[in-house]
Structure 1
Amino acid sequence: MELFHSTRSTDIQVTAKQAIRQGIADDGGLFVSDSLGERTLDVESLPGKSYQEIALEVLRLLLPDFSDDELRECIEGAYSSFKDEDVTPLKSLGMNYVLELFHGPTSAFKDVALQALPRFMAHTHVKEGEAQSQEELAEGKERVLILTATSGDTGKAALDGFADVDSTGIVVFYPAGQVSEVQRMQMITQSGQNVGVVAVHGNFDDAQSKVKAIFGDAALAADLEENAHTRLSSANSINVGRLVPQVVYYCAAYAQLLFTQEINFGDEVDFLVPTGNFGDILAGYYAKRLGLPVGKLVVASDKNNVLYDFLTTGVYDRNREFFTTISPSMDILISSNLERMLYYFSDGDTELISRLMNDLAETGRYEVPSGVMRKIREVFDCAWADEDQVRAAIRDCWDENGYVIDPHTACAYHALSVTEGTPTAPRVVLSTASPYKFPRAVLSALGVAAPESDFACMDALADLSGVPAPTALRSLEGQLPRFTDEIDVDEMPAYVRTMAAKFAGASGAAA
C-alpha cells in the first residue's frame, strides 16, 4: 500500500487516511508520498468524461487506500452543490482561457477541496467492529477538532464543509481587518453547532504560525485527548486531503481542451495561478507528475511578492514589509506548501528540508541549493502585480473581453502579459474567486463610483456586467453575526482548549 511520511523524516509511515486525519506530521512537516507519479493517468481517455468521473480517475491514484465506492460517495456529495454542471468550466478569453473555480457554495476555489475533505475525513474514522487494536478502537471514538487559519476564502469554505459534521468541530482564525467585508460576513454568520470563528489581532502569517505551533504542542494535545477525547487536524492545504482534490481541475481543464479540439493529445498547456500558500499551484505540479502534459506553471503574486523573489533569487525571505492589498487571500509571507515542492525537487532530501525549515523558523529566511533551483525553474515561472497593475488588469480584461475578474485572478491575468510561457502552448488563467466577493475593489478598478454598502456594490456590478451576484453572497445583507470574538495571537491555544470542551459537551448532550 502507498504510504505517506513527513517532508522532514521518513521514520513514521502512515496511510492516506491516517495522513488526512492527522493533518500535519508530528515533527511539523507535511505529508508526502514517494510513490507520486509511479502510477500515471490515462489522459487520452479523459475527454467527454464528467468532472466526477475524472475526479475518480485522479483520486484513486493519489488516495489508494480509499475504495472506489468511498471515493464515489465523497465525489458525488462534494460536487452536487456546484452551480455549473462542469464544476470548473473552461472559457475562452481572447487567445487564452480562464478556468472558473468559483461555482461552489462559497464562490471560491477552496470549495473544490473543502467540500471533499470532510467526506474524506468521515471515512478515516475506524468503525465499530473494524478496530484491530485498542489504539484503533480509541481512534474510532475520538472527536476531531479542525483548526484553520484563513486569509479570507479558506475559512468560509471550511466552515461550510464541516458544519454539523458528526464527531467533528471546527475553529477558524482570521486576521482582524484584513479580509473583505463579504468574506468576513460569510464567516461570522455561519450556521452550525460545531463551528467557531474568531478574529485575531495580527496578519494571516501570525495566525498560521500559531496554528502550526498548536499542532506541535504535545501538552495541549494530551490535555485535549484526556479531557475532551479530541485530536486536532487541519483544513488548510497543509492537509494532503485538502491538496489532492485540486489536482482534478487541472486534468479537467486539459480534458475540456482536448474535447473541443483546441489541442491534440500530448500538447502542453501552461497554467497561470494566483497563489499565496502555494497549494493551488502545487496541485498543478502533482498533475504533471501524474502525466498531464503541463508546460509552465506560473506563480502569480500580489504586492506580497515573497514567492517571486524566491523563484528569481533562490532565497526565501519573509523578513519584509507586509502589505494589506485588495487581493487579501494572497497576503501571505510564509507559503507552507513550498515545503512539499522543495521535498520533491530535492529528490526527497529530508535533511535538507529540515535544515531549511529550521532556518526559516529561526531567521525568517533560507537559501536553496542552486542545483535544486535550476530544476524548479524548468517547471515554474513567476510574476507579480502591484495594486495599480491589479486594477489595470481588471479593467483591461473587461475592456478587451467583456469579462469581469476578481483581484486575485487579476494577478494571473497580468502575468499573461509579462511572462513568455511555453512556445505554442495554450495558456489557462485560474480564476480563484467570484468578483462579487470583492465588489468594491472591482468597481473601483472599472472606474465606477462605489456605493457605501458592499451589497449595493454587488448590485452595481451586476448592472454593469449583466451577470447576477451569487445568491449566497447577496443574501448576506442584514444577517446578524453569530461570532464577534477578537483575541490576540497568544490567546489562540486557550481558545482552542475552550472550544474543544464546548464541542465535546455539546456532543455529549446530543448523545
Structure 2
Amino acid sequence: MYYVSTRNKEDRRTAAQAIAQGLAADGGLMTPEVFPKLSQNALETMRDMSYQQRAVYVMGSFLDDFTSSELSAFASRAYGPDKFDVKAVAPVRDVDGNTYCLELWHGPTCAFKDMALQMLPHLLSAALVKNQEEKTVCILVATSGDTGKAALEGFKDVEKTRILVFYPKDGVSAIQQLQMVTQEGENVGVCSVVGNFDDAQTGVKRLFADPALREQLAGRGFFLSSANSINWGRVLPQIVYYISAYCDLMRDGKLQKGEALNVCVPTGNFGNILAAYYAKTMGVPIGKLICASNSNNVLTDFLRTGVYDRNRTFYNTMSPSMDILISSNLERLLFALTGHDDAEVRDYMAQLNQDGRYEVSPVLRDKLGKLFAAGYCDDTRTQQVIGRMWNEHKYLIDPHTAVAFEVLDQYRKETGDASPALVASTASPFKFCDSVLGALGVTELEQGTAILEQLSARTGVAAPAPLAGLKDKSVRFAQNVEKDHMVDQVLELLK
C-alpha cells in the first residue's frame, strides 16, 4: 500500500517512508491511497481476540512493509500490563444500557494519546531501519495538553531519536504541565510558547517547512519528523480502538451484528473523530459521527454550515486539549470526501492560510451533513455534566468527556435518534482535578499534587499511579520562548 500527500497525490510513499517523514514536503498529510475494507466476518473473527491481537489484525492491512511478527511484538510492548493498568487496554463501560463509554486513558500518561503514542515509537524505529536511514530523527511536537506527555513517554530514551515538545504557556492544566516539565530521559526537551496551541502548532509546521533548517540539521546528522496526529503512525492505532469497542459490545451482547452505533468524540485537532470515520469507511457499522466542541466551536460551525472560519475569539477553557481553532486533521477528511481531489484541498488550505477561512462546495457540504452531527458545550455546562454523571451514575469523568456527553444529549434531543451510542473518554479526571472538584461542589482546593489526594478523598476513586507519583518528581524544564524563536530551541537540543 502506498501513501499520498493530501496536496499532491503524485507524492507516493511506502508506509515506512510516510511514518518516518511525518509531514509531506508540501505541507500536506500522508494518507492511504486506498482504504482496505474489513471482510464480512472480520468483526466476528476479532470478537474474542485480545486488544493486542486486534491491533495486529487491523494495522496489518495498512502496513504491508511490516511483518505480522513485527506488529505482534510492537503490540505486546505497546499495550502490555507494564504500560496499561487494565487487561482490556481500552475498556468499554456501560453507562445506562444504551450509552457506552470507551475509556482511552488507562495508559502511562492517563490520556487517549497513549493509545497511539505507545505504538508510534516502535513503528518509527522499524521504519528508520527499513528506509536505511542513518541520521537521528528529531520528533517535534506541539501539544494542547496530552500529546506532549504521551509523546515524551513513548520516545523516552528510544535509540536514534530526540524529541522536543512545545506547549502553550498558561494553556494546559497544572497536572498536564507538571507531567511534561518533570519528564525523565536523556533525549527529551520541553518548552512553553507564549501564545495558544494554534501558535505552537503553526510554529512547528513552519519549522518543518524551513529548507534552511532542514539543511542545517542534516549537516549535524538529524532530520525532523512528527508525533502529532499529522503523522499517519498516530492516526492508524486510533482506528483500532473503535473497531475493538464494537467487537466488545458484540461479544457482550450489547449490540447485534450489523447494528448501528453512533459515536460521539470530544474534538480539537480532529484526529480522534477522523479515526472513527476511517473505521466506518472500513465497514464498521458506525451510524452518526457526533463532533463535540467546547467554546472554541470552529468545527461545530463548519460541520453545520460548510464554512471554516478561524477568525474568532480564542477561549482558554477547562477542556484545554480542545482549545484549538486550526484542526489539522480536517484536511484528511476533505481529501477523502473530495475523492482525493488534491487541487481542491490545496485551494482550501491556501485560503485558510491567507484569509483564515474557506467555504467548501455544496456537494462536500451535503456529504458532511450526512456523516456528521456537531454541537458544543461551554464551561458552565461542562461542570454541570461532571456533577450529574457523578451524582446519577457514580461515574467520574474529565471535562473533555463531559463535553461529549452533553453534545450527545443535545443530539438525541434534537433528532430523536435513540440508537446506541459510544462516547470516547479521552483523559483521566485526575488530570483536571480543579475543574472536577469544582463540579462536585468543592470550593477550597489543595495546591500542587495534593489536589490529587483531595479528589480521591472526595470520591473514593484512586488516582492513577502515574499521576500519584508526580509528587516525587523534580522539575527539569522551565524554558519559555516567543513563537518566532522556537527554532532556537531546536538548534539548542540538536547542537
Q: Shared fold by TM > 0.5? A: yes
Q: Which of 157, 160, 175 is matched with 2:153 structurally?
A: 160
Aligned equivalent of 2:396: 404
Local SS of the residue matching 1:272: strand
Local SS of the residue matching 1:296: strand
Show CA shifts across 1:451-504 (max 9, x none): 231423222221222210012112212532100110111111122122122xxx
Show CA shifts across 1:362-416 (max 9, x none): 1100111111111112111111001111111101111111101000000001012
**Hey, what's the Cα distance between the residues in 2 that align with 1:422 and 1:142?**
56
CA contact (8 A) 2:317 2:379 kept: yes
Q: What amino acid maps onto 1:102 in structure 2?
A: W
The normalised TM-score by structure 2 is 0.97
Show CA shifts across 1:263-289 (max 9, x none): 111001111101100000000011111
Aligned equivalent of 1:59: 59
**Hey, what's the Cα distance between the residues in 1 that align with 2:416 and 2:30?**
31
Q: CA RMSD in A?
A: 1.3
Is 1:337 equivalent to 2:329 in the alignment? Answer: yes
**Hey, what's the Cα distance between the residues in 2 that align with 1:97 and 1:10?**
38
Q: What amino acid maps onto 2:442 in structure 1?
A: V
1:450 is displaced (CA, Å) by: 3.7
Q: Within 5 Å, which residues of 2 pair with 1:116-131?
A: 116-126=119-129
Local SS of the residue matching 1:145: strand
1:40 is displaced (CA, Å) by: 4.6
**Hey, what's the Cα distance between the residues in 1 that align with 2:36 and 2:376?**
30
Q: Which of 163, 168, 180 is matched with 1:187 structurally?
A: 180
Q: Which of 77, 88, 92 is matched with 2:94 structurally?
A: 92
CA contact (8 A) 1:295 1:422 kept: no
Is 1:208 equivalent to 2:208 in the alignment? Answer: no
**Hey, what's the Cα distance between the residues in 2 that align with 1:247 and 1:32?**
13
Is 1:10 equivalent to 2:9 in the alignment? Answer: yes
Aligned residues: 489
Show CA shifts across 1:267-315 (max 9, x none): 0111110110000000001111111111111101001000001111110
**Hey, what's the Cα distance between the residues in 1 that align with 2:210 and 2:68?**
36
Q: What amino acid maps onto 1:190 in structure 2?
A: Q
Aligned equivalent of 2:19: 20
Aligned equivalent of 2:238: 246
Show CA shifts across 1:5-24 (max 9, x none): 10011122100110000000
**Hey, what's the Cα distance between the residues in 2 that align with 1:97 and 1:39?**
23
1:40–1:225 distance in 2 versus 1, CA, 3 Å: farther
Any runs of at least 4 consecutive aligned residues in structure 1 with deviations exceeding 6 A, and if so which?
Answer: none
Q: What amino acid maps onto 2:311 in structure 1?
A: N
CA contact (8 A) 1:440 1:450 kept: no
1:51 is displaced (CA, Å) by: 0.5
1:65–1:8 distance in 2 versus 1, CA, 3 Å: same
Q: What amino acid maps onto 1:124 in structure 2?
A: A
Local SS of the residue matching 1:125: helix
Q: Within 5 Å, which residues of 2 pair with 1:64-75?
A: 64-75=64-75
Percent of residue pairs bearing the same amino acid type: 46
**Hey, what's the Cα distance between the residues in 2 that align with 1:43 and 1:389?**
37
Local SS of the residue matching 1:24: coil
Show CA shifts across 1:177-221 (max 9, x none): 111110000000000010000011010000100101111111110
1:39 is displaced (CA, Å) by: 5.6
Q: Within 5 Å, which residues of 2 pair with 1:258-337?
A: 258-337=250-329
1:142–1:422 distance in 2 versus 1, CA, 3 Å: farther
The normalised TM-score by structure 1 is 0.94
CA contact (8 A) 2:446 2:454 kept: no
Is 1:108 equivalent to 2:111 in the alignment? Answer: yes
**Hey, what's the Cα distance between the residues in 2 that align with 1:413 and 1:234?**
31
Show CA shifts across 1:410-468 (max 9, x none): 00010121003784521111110000000011000111224231423222221222210
Aligned equivalent of 1:366: 358
**Tell me, which stretches of 5 or more residues in structure 1 are unaligned?**
128-135, 502-511
**Hey, what's the Cα distance between the residues in 2 that align with 1:83 and 1:329?**
23
**Hey, what's the Cα distance between the residues in 1 that align with 2:44 and 2:473?**
48
CA contact (8 A) 1:455 1:474 kept: yes
**Hey, what's the Cα distance between the residues in 2 that align with 1:346 and 1:267?**
28
**Hey, what's the Cα distance between the residues in 2 that align with 1:452 and 1:385?**
27
**Hey, what's the Cα distance between the residues in 2 that align with 1:67 and 1:422?**
46
